[in-house]
Amino acid sequence: MPICVLGINHKTATLEVRERFAVAEHDYPSHLTRLYQFPVVQSAVVISTCNRTEYYLSVPSIKAFKEQADEVLGFDSAANHVYLKTGQECAAHLFAVTAGVDSLVLGETQIQGQVKRAFDEASQFKQNGEMNKLFQMAFKTAKLVRSDTEIGRNPVSVAHCAVQLGRQIFGALEQQNALVVGAGETAELLIRYLINHGAQNLTVANRTAANAAKLAGLFNASTLGFDAVANHLHEFDLVFTATASPSTLIQQADALQALKRRKYKPMVMIDLSVPRDIDENIAQLEDVFLYAVDDLQKVITENIKRRASTIDEATRIIDAEAELLGQWIKRHRHHDLLKQYQAKVERIKQAVLDRQMTQDLSEEQANKLNTVAHQVSKKLSHDHISALRKIIESGNEEHIKLVADLLALEMNDDT
């Protein structure tokens, strides 16, 4: 069946738009459940990060899916910020995403784990051959890109860029108090980078206190009750947020109160969440430097310049692997023609046998007749089956259709 991806990312949509499309990882099951209510969806994977929300789908017909896409996905699929890629183009896109080539930060290391978790979650429902092959080749391609190009050297992440931004503003971090709100993978990366750059006074806050304590324990950091963040905000020079909260956690009034208690000593707040954790209106306060995910683009420009020369090399690997997948899909899609032909030969053989099997035949004669019929049909069809298999594996749609017509076989209409 055809594969496609429909989604938005940091290249096509603003942060405000991406917030509306964002799906928390713990909500993947409910989204998948809803998708499978539609017969047009045979297999699905949902991937949502701070930079993108994408739906990878296997459908009986791209044309039929387009007609129902808005109902299936619950948004306007024809909007300018939404893209639809099919077949080999879809594969190349996923391969680039998984390898970190399509990320805001070129070579970002977190994305492969995010894609893997999304696929594992979707596999708890169902996956057909095309979707499973697509993602297995995505992981293989990402490994090739990281091992065979400079993208895999000195890997970076959005968390790394966030800490770099803090260093640009404050310089040395030894004397700065830093608060990390969140206890997931991004929060852990933030803490590691902060420590690597000399930060010593670290505090972790999370809605689940046990998770905050576990993360803080790894790095000898302090913890703060989630509900106490607003009241203690004034104690921190650097505030990083990386949660999956659907609503704002730090309001403008909280920041204003913190500034007053700090006697307007500057603060830096960096929000790595989509939807955002920090009220965007805080940016209006003169003594708060507020940055969201998209603002990090200025910080990573130099990183992109250093790594841009490797993009062409990575793209060649991605395109080659996508072409291999495209050939596999073509063979897989038309494999049913072999089954059709074999079934057709069997029907003809059986019809001839039924006419010859009279009551005056002994059991021995009937068995001999059946054996001869089987051997003759197998010998006569062998060359046809071998030729049909070669034509299918060539991927030449015109030749496949011609042979299917000659043999009166029905091709799948999956356009």
Hey, which residues are catalytic here?
50
- And the tokens for 299? 């910080």
Q: Which residues pair with 206 in a beta bridge?
A: 225
Cα 240 to chain centroid, rounded: 25
Q: Coil, strand or helix: which one is 125?
A: coil
CA distances to 24, 182, 268 from 272, rounded to whole Å, are 14, 10, 13
What distance in Å separates the CA atoms of residue 384 and residue 379, rounded to the nearest whole number? 10
What distance in Å separates the CA atoms of residue 59 and residue 56, rounded to the nearest whole number? 10
Specify the DSSP class assigned to residue 410: P
Which strands make up the sheet holding 267-271, listed edge to edge? 222-225, 201-206, 177-181, 238-241, 267-271, 288-291
CB atoms within 10 A of CB 215: 20
Residue closest to 276 by CA, chosen among 241, 321, 301, 225: 241
- And the tokens for 56? 């990878």
Residues 6+ apart with CB under 8 A from 308: 106
Residue closest to 100 by CA, chosen among 134, 64, 147, 65: 147
Helices (H) and strands (E) in the chain, counts: 15, 10
Place of tokens 């990573």: 300
Residue closest to 111 by CA, chosen among 123, 121, 96: 96
Beta-strand pair 43-48/201-206? unpaired
Specify the DSSP class assigned to residue 39: T
Q: At what angle do helices 209-219 and 185-196 cross, to 10 degrees?
A: 30
The secondary structure element, H or E, covering residue 109 is none
Contact by Cβ (8 Å): 183, 240: no
Residues 6+ apart with CB under 8 A from 375: none
- Amino acid found at 340: Q
